[in-house]
């Protein structure tokens, strides 16, 4: 764990719970994401220091806590810039937005912890002169609002969370998504990509990503089919969520309630927009039903 692996002439990744990218230039190195905690940031910096590479900046793919958890530590120690864009920049600068968004209101203390809420960091846009112009930004929305990937001059593509490993897909019956339609479009885009190496954050690096894309796409349609089956009778959201947990053999916790619950709401929105579910309001309950 936390092993530095060479992916191209000047491109590396740190094998850790959330893979971190490293792009080296003569003046130092840029990180792609900073890991899930202060400790992850500390370990990444130790690796850079051991190689004599000053940290020049962190390029964040998106604002989930396991990708920005080391930002604050690295910025405090090195005064490096943290680069992010759009909604991801807002959530990175104001991490309270993450549990608030997931919960749908002011989050209670149970949800204000490092798994769902990183420490805040100062953010610069990709248009900032300090951003490495030789690195291509690739929009990859769906898993998160404005998630991106990065392609280095070595033709190594960091894919963030747009594909998960088969083991992860099997372990988590409902993987987190914000926008199902955007996510499926992103999968189509990634399936058509060519690169010397693809580095997903939560799967093994691979030269051919197409089969993993197909497995992730199949998982989306599996979850959608499960929801359509559950909604064959009109049900309120809490009933739907309970049946999702029961049918998948999952045990609910407060964290899983908001993560899976937010994802199920996103699926229901997508299914309604595509005409496959409808809603009725009866006795002041909003009920979802398959069409």
Asked if 83 and 58 touch (Cβ cutoff 8 Å), the reply is: yes
Fold assignment, 232-290: Arc Repressor Mutant, subunit A (1.10.10)
The first and second tokens of residue 41, run together, are 């940031």
Please, what's the b/e burial string for 266-285 (b: 16 or more CB within 10 A of its CB; e: otherwise)?
A: bbbebbeeeeebeeeeeeee
Asked if 90 and 121 touch (Cβ cutoff 8 Å), the reply is: no
The predicted structure's pLDDT at residue 157: 98
CA 215 and chain centroid, separation:
17
HSE value, Cβ hemisphere, 13 Å, CA-based, for 33? 37
Asked if 162 and 202 touch (Cβ cutoff 8 Å), the reply is: no
The first and second tokens of residue 193, run together, are 């990509």
The predicted structure's pLDDT at residue 100: 98
The predicted structure's pLDDT at residue 177: 98
Alpha helices in the chain (DSSP H): 38-50, 65-68, 71-78, 86-93, 97-103, 166-171, 180-191, 210-230, 237-248, 254-273
Burial degree of 125 (CB within 10 A; 0-12, 13-18, 19+): exposed
The predicted structure's pLDDT at residue 1: 85
Candidate CATH numbers 3.60.15.10, 3.90.226.30, 3.40.50.300, 3.50.7.10; the one for domain 3-221: 3.60.15.10
Q: Global pTM? A: 0.96
Q: Where are the domains of the chain?
A: 3-221, 232-290
- Using CA atoms, how far apart are residues 142 and 61, in angstroms rounded to an integer? 12
Residue whose C-alpha is closest to residue 74's, from 112, 30, 113 = 30
Over its length of 291 residues, how does the chain's per-residue pLDDT go in tens digits? 899 999 999 999 999 999 999 999 999 999 999 999 999 999 999 999 999 999 999 999 999 999 999 999 999 999 999 999 999 999 999 999 999 999 999 999 999 999 999 999 999 999 999 999 999 999 999 999 999 999 999 999 999 999 999 999 999 999 999 999 999 999 999 999 999 999 999 999 999 999 999 999 999 999 999 999 999 999 999 999 999 999 999 999 999 999 999 999 999 999 999 999 999 999 999 999 999
- Using CA atoms, how far apart are residues 159 and 161, in angstroms rounded to an integer? 6
The predicted structure's pLDDT at residue 167: 94
Burial degree of 206 (CB within 10 A; 0-12, 13-18, 19+): middle
- Using CA atoms, how far apart are residues 74 and 8, in angstroms rounded to an integer? 24
């Amino acid at each position: 764990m936390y092993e530095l692996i060479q992916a191209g002439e000047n491109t590396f990744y740190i094998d850790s719970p959330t893979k971190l990218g490293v792009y080296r230039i003569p003046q130092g190195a840029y990180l792609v994401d900073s890991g899930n905690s202060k400790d992850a940031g500390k370990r990444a910096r130790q690796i850079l220091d051991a190689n004599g590479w000053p940290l020049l900046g962190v390029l964040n793919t998106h604002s989930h806590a396991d990708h920005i958890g080391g930002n604050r530590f690295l910025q405090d120690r090195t005064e490096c810039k943290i680069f992010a864009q759009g909604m991801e920049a807002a959530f990175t600068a104001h991490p309270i937005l993450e549990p608030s968004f997931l919960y749908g209101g002011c989050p209670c203390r149970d949800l204000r912890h490092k798994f769902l809420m990183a420490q805040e960091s100062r953010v610069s846009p990709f248009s900032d002169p300090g951003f490495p112009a030789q690195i291509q930004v690739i929009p990859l929305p769906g898993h998160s609002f404005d998630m991106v990937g990065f392609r280095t001059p070595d033709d190594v593509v960091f894919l963030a969370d747009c594909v998960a490993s088969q083991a992860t897909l099997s372990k988590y019956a409902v993987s987190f998504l914000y926008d199902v339609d955007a996510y499926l479009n992103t999968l189509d885009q990634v399936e058509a990509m060519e690169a010397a190496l693809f580095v997903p954050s939560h799967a093994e690096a691979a030269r051919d990503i197409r089969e993993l894309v197909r497995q992730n796409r199949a998982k989306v349609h599996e979850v959608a089919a499960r929801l359509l089956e559950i909604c064959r009778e009109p049900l309120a959201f809490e009933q739907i969520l309970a049946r999702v947990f029961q049918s998948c053999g999952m045990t609910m916790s407060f964290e899983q309630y908001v993560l899976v619950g937010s994802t199920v709401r996103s699926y229901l929105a997508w299914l309604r927009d595509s005409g496959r579910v409808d809603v009725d309001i009866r006795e002041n309950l909003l009920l979802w039903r398959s069409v």
